[in-house]
A and B are shown apart, each in its own frame.
Chain A
Amino acid sequence: MSTPAHPFVSRPSAARTIEKSTFWIFRIATYIILFAGLAVFGDIVVKGSSAVFGSFKETDRFPYFTNTFLAEAPESLYVFEHEGMKREMGDREYRAFREKETAAAAAAGRPAPKFKAESYVYSAGGIWPCIVGTVLLVVGSMTIALTLGVSSAVFLSEYAKDGPFVRFVRLAILNLAGVPSIVFGLFGFGMFVIFFDWNVSLLAGWFTLAFMVLPVVITASEEALKAVPKGFREGSLALGATKWQTIRSNVLPYALPGILTSSILGIARVAGETAPIMFTAAYVVRDKLPWDVEKFSDFFFQGVMALPYHIYVVSSKIPQNAYTSRVQYGTAFVFLGIVALIALSSILLRNNLRGRYKW
Chain B
Amino acid sequence: MQSETQPSAIAGHQPKAFAVKKARTRFFGLTLDECIRVFFGGNAFVAVIVLALITFFLFREGGPFFKMNRDSIRVYRVAGLEYVDIIRQQEQDHTALTRYLFDIRMKVVKQLRDERGGLIEADLKAARLTVEKLLSNGAAAGAPELIQAQMRVDEFQKADSALTLEINASLAAFDKFAERYGDTVLPVRGLVSDIGEVATGIKSRYTENEDYKVARAQYLAAGKKTEADAIVLKEIDFKTEVAAITAIFPTYQQMNQEFAVGLKRVVNDLPILPVPALQPRMVRFSELTDLYLAGFPETEVRLKAWDQLAPVPWYHALAGFIFGKQWLTASFWQDWYGVVPLFVGSLMVSMIALAIAVPLGVGAAVYINQIASSREQRLIKPAIEFISAIPSVVLGFFGIAVLGQSLRALSQVEALSWIPGFPYSERLNALTAGVLLALIAVPTIFTLAEDAINNVPRAFKEASFALGASKMQTIIRIIVPAALSGIISAVLLGLGRVIGETMVVLLCAGNRIAIPDFTAGLAVAVQPVHTMTGIIAQEMGEVVRGSIHYRALFVVGLVLFFIAMLINFLAQKIVRKYRISVG
Query: Residues of A with Cβ closer than 8 Å to B?
Result: 15, 18-19, 22-23, 25-27, 29-30, 32-34, 36-37, 40-41, 43-44, 148, 151-152, 154-156, 158-160, 168-169, 172-187, 189-191, 194-195, 211, 214-215, 218, 242-244, 265, 268, 271-275, 278-279, 308-309, 311-312, 315-316, 320, 325, 328-329, 332, 335-336, 339-340, 342-344, 347, 351
Contacts and interface: CB of A to CB of B under 8 A. Distances in A.
B500 A311 contact: no
B189 interface: no
A122 B249 CA distance: 59
A40 B390 contact: yes
A175 B383 CA distance: 27
B398 A179 contact: no
B483 interface: no
B391 A178 contact: no
Contacts of B384: 33-34, 37
Given A44-B398, A275-B502, A312-B396, A343 B36 contact: no
B489 to A, nearest CB: 12
B540 A279 contact: yes
Contacts of B554: 186, 190
B537 interface: yes
B394 A214 contact: no
Interface string B378-414: 0010111111011111111110111000000000000
B280 to A, nearest CB: 46
Residue in B439, B472, B541, B554 with the greatest tally of chain A CB atoms within 10 Å: B472
B53 A182 contact: no
Closest 3 CB pairs of A and B: A180-B500, A272-B391, A29-B363
Interface residues of B, number: 84
A10 to B, nearest CB: 9
B44 A275 contact: no
Interface string B1-44: 00000000000000000000000000000001100110111011
Nearest to A37: B387
A351 to B, nearest CB: 8
Contacts of B291: none
Nearest to A343: B389
9 contacts: A33-B446, A37-B387, A176-B47, A178-B565, A182-B537, A189-B540, A191-B57, A244-B33, A332-B394
Contacts of A312: 393, 396, 503, 506-507
A210 to B, nearest CB: 9
B445 to A, nearest CB: 10
A198 B475 CA distance: 56
A26 B383 CA distance: 17
B50 A176 contact: yes
B371 A27 contact: yes
A30 B368 contact: yes
Nearest to A151: B43
B363 A172 contact: no
A189 B561 CA distance: 15
B540 A214 contact: no
Interface in B415-431: none
B561 A183 contact: yes
Contacts of B371: 23, 26-27
Interface in B61-101: 61
A178 B567 contact: yes
Contact of B40 (A29, A151, A179, A279): A151
Contacts of B53: 187, 191
B44 A160 contact: yes
A175 B568 contact: yes
Contact of A242 (B33, B40, B51, B564): B33
Contact of B496 (A159, A176, A178, A274): A178
A182 B553 CA distance: 11
B394 A40 contact: yes
Given A33-B439, A148-B46, A190-B57, 4 more contacts: A175-B569, A179-B54, A183-B561, A191-B57
A359 to B, nearest CB: 23
Given A44-B398, A335-B391, A152 B367 contact: no
Contacts of A26: 363-364, 366-367, 371
Contacts of A347: 382, 385-386
B464 interface: no
B386 A175 contact: no
A172 B47 contact: yes
A26 B506 CA distance: 32
B45 interface: yes
Given A30-B364, A182-B537, A347-B382, A339 B45 contact: no
Interface in B170-202: none
B351 interface: no
A172 B51 CA distance: 7
A273 B391 contact: yes
A274 B57 contact: no
Given A151-B40, A181-B500, A336-B394, A169 B364 contact: no
A179 B500 contact: yes
B526 to A, nearest CB: 20
Given A178-B496, A180-B564, A173 B47 contact: yes
B545 interface: yes
B493 interface: yes
A33 B364 contact: yes
A80 to B, nearest CB: 25
B302 interface: no
A172 B55 CA distance: 12
A133 B383 CA distance: 29
Contacts of B295: none
Contacts of B476: 22
Contacts of A15: 470
B401 A29 contact: no
A23 B367 contact: yes
A268 B389 contact: yes
Given A183-B54, A186-B557, A315-B507, A154 B40 contact: yes
B85 to A, nearest CB: 32
B48 A172 contact: yes
